[in-house]
Amino acid sequence: MQGIPTRCTMVSVVTVRGAGEAARTLLLRRARAHLHGLWVYAAGHIEPGEKAWQTAARELAEETGLRPTALYSADRCETYYDATEECIAVVPAFVAFVDADAAVRLDAEHDDHAWLSFPEAIARLPFGGQRSLFAHVQREFVLRPPSPVLRMPPGGSDGAGRAPVEPTRG
């Protein structure tokens, strides 16, 4: 029986600053042909030997210049049918908390950015799966403290022996 293959080759990152009702999330406007002009969030392909959470931190830095003060598994994977690759794409999602005053420096993939409330961001996102992910992040990471078991990297350090920094709340 012929089926549709499932592939996991990329990750996505929902970026948050602040907490509660005052929290803002970052959207990026695509400048390149793929999804041109649409509002999206940081995402990218996993490089050989890289862990998914490492890809999330790298892609966030490459696309926005931001470095997370705390990184979590979103406890969700985006899934969609990729007609180009004829597969079901599975994309692990991450939540990156950043400093409130951190400056965004866009790469060539994007030509604009906006820090929005979660309802504003959800209204701009083009796909239902994205809107569901952002509603989940708002509910489970913004309006309540995230579960410590979802903290990345697993094992409690960043790989260089440093303890992770907790997200700013309030």
Domains of the chain: residue spans and CATH: 6-148 (3.90.79.10)
pLDDT of residue 163 exceeding 90 = no
0.95 cut: is pTM over it? no
Pairing of strands 24-30, 110-116: antiparallel
Counting Cβ atoms within 10 Å, is residue 20 exposed (0-12), middle (13-18) or buried (19+)?
A: exposed
Q: Which residues contact 140 (CB under 8 A, 6 or more apart)?
A: 74, 75, 146, 147
The alpha-carbon radius of gyration of the chain (Å, integer) is: 16
Over residues 100-124, the pLDDT tens digits come to 999 999 999 999 999 999 999 999 9
Residue 167's pLDDT is what? 44
